[in-house]
Structure 1
Amino acid sequence: MDLFIGGLAISAVLLIITGVTLLVGKFRKNKLNIKQKNWLLIIHMFFVMMYIGGVFGMLLLAVLTKFTIDNNLVYASHVFIKRFDHFLVIPGAFGSLITGIWLAIRTHWGGLTKHYWVLAKWIGNIVAIIFGSTYVRIWISDSLSTSQITNGIYPLQNPAYFENRQLLFVGLEICIAILFFLIVISYLKPWGKRDERHLNDI
């Protein structure tokens, strides 16, 4: 139940962010000039690098725990996984979402729904954020709590720790797959434009 409520809460936040960004964009009818667009694109790429770098760093730290027998190092790895999530992944995800929406509505792309690839990027980013904010967040916390020495039980002797770590691996791999998909469609820009005779643009 808590997971469902958390998912609804983050979905509401994402919809509010999207709505406010779109609303502000509608009041600014003029498109960005080349210089403004390039600077915004640089900022967008900075947030994307934070996002992807954070997720890859988390996965690397999680993999490290499979190749050590030092319980303190295992615990430290999970502490840093949580820090990567707080200081790289979360700001990177929200920053790339906001700057991506702004690029879509203030440039020649014409909004979030005129081109299929832009729509797919927006939806994909929202799915990644919701998945990361619900399931992956829980697996990070559970892995961290079970990686501590409790009641004389070391993490590498604790079946709960191995289960939580495996779930964390799966979650991070799903996140990386989604982000890789978003990078590919950003480069290829597939599927063309939607039919404007039947569908109104946001």
Structure 2
Amino acid sequence: MKTLGPAGMKWLKIAHILLAALFFGGIMSSLALNFAVNLAAYHETFDFYRHTVIISDYIIRIGAVGTLLIGLLYGIFTKWGFFKHRWVAVKWVLFIIQTFIGIFIVDQLMEANMAMLEAGKASALNSPVFMHNHTLRQYAAIVQIAITVFIICISVLKPWKKKKTAL
């Protein structure tokens, strides 16, 4: 398989950094809004969820899908591969876990709360299910941020890398 040259690697790295920044920035923005929302005010809470859905759909998903595609390109067209280095394999596993958290926890809770707000209006804010979903979504976003920071550390430090032996 043909590998990318130095110029291709630089462009791939630029795309990877930009897409990862979208992904991470979207999660951070969503979490910041989560801490700032006044859950006693219906219109503020509704606007929060509406904006969070937009951030999720147009920032986080683009960053996540783009990062996944760039990761595939790295795996196919560079010397890194997918499992040649343990640190790369760990990044893949963590990214998959993080993606599942986003799709099956964060997004589902967000959509459920948005549906409750649309159907029940202000009465949704008194629902224990709504509050539970909101809190759980917040903790899941914190876990996603922690995983992202760990992935960044792995990317820079490259732990578990084989040491070069002197001949």
For the aligned pair, the TM-score class normalised by the smaller chain equals 0.7 to 0.9
1:123 CA displacement: 1.2
Query: Which residue of the other structure, out of 125, 133, 139, is the alignment partner of 2:95?
Result: 125
**How does 1:26-65 map onto structure 2 within 5 Å?**
29-65=1-37
Q: Unaligned 5+ residue runs, structure 2?
A: 163-167
**How does 1:141-180 map onto structure 2 within 5 Å?**
141-148=111-118, 150=120, 153=123, 155=125, 157-180=126-149
Distance, in Å, in 2 between the alignment partners of 1:75 and 1:177 is 27
**How does 1:99-114 map onto structure 2 within 5 Å?**
99-109=70-80, 111-114=81-84
2:163 counterpart of 1:191? no
Runs of 4+ in 1 over 4 A off after TM superposition: none
What is the aligned-residue RMSD (CA, Å)? 1.8
Residues 1:102 and 1:148: Cα distance change in structure 2 (over 3 Å): same
Deviation string, structure 1 residues 53-89 (Cα, Å, up to 9, x no partner)? 11111111111114x6432111100111111111111
2:106/2:137 contact within 8 Å kept: yes
SS of 1:150's equivalent?
Answer: helix
Distance, in Å, in 2 between the alignment partners of 1:116 and 1:105 is 16
Matched residue, 1:82: 53
Q: Unaligned 5+ residue runs, structure 1?
A: 1-28, 194-202
Distance, in Å, in 1 between the alignment partners of 2:91 and 2:156 is 11
Matched residue, 1:70: 41
Query: Which residue of the other structure, out of 122, 125, 136, is the alignment partner of 2:106?
Result: 136
1:131 CA displacement: 1.9
TM-score by length of 1: 0.74
Percent of residue pairs identical = 26
Q: Which amino acid aligns with 2:127?
A: N
1:46 CA displacement: 1.1
Distance, in Å, in 2 between the alignment partners of 1:97 and 1:118 is 13
1:145 CA displacement: 2.5
Q: Which amino acid aligns with 2:21?
A: M
TM-score by length of 2: 0.88
2:94/2:147 contact within 8 Å kept: yes
Matched residue, 1:197: none
Matched residue, 2:165: none
1:32 CA displacement: 0.9
1:139/1:164 contact within 8 Å kept: yes
